Amino acid sequence: PVVVDNDANVAALGEQFFGKAKGIDTFVYMTVSTGIGAGIVVHGRLVRGASASAGEVGGRGAAIYASNTTDTN
């Protein structure tokens, strides 16, 4: 079978089976690419959420603010 999913979820599964998260049953894989998102694995299972958008932050009205902490006075 072929499964299509978003980049963060697929990357999290890749890390779980072949990468740094191998042997870890609960972790979050963060990604910043086409948006800001995360693949969330809890007790070895990918968490999708009620609307299949668990971990998806970007593209939903989220904003990231940067502030300049250098005092110029």
pLDDT digits (tens, 9 = 90+) for 7-53: 899 999 999 999 999 999 999 999 887 778 999 999 999 999 888 88
pLDDT digits (tens, 9 = 90+) for 48-69: 988 888 888 865 444 445 555 5
Q: Tell me the pTM.
A: 0.72
Asked whether the beta carbons of 1 and 31 are under 8 A apart, the reply is no
Q: How far apart are CA 50 and CA 56, in angstroms?
A: 12
Asked whether the beta carbons of 40 and 23 are under 8 A apart, the reply is no
From residue 62, alpha-carbon distances to 46, 51, 52, 56 in Å are 23, 18, 18, 10
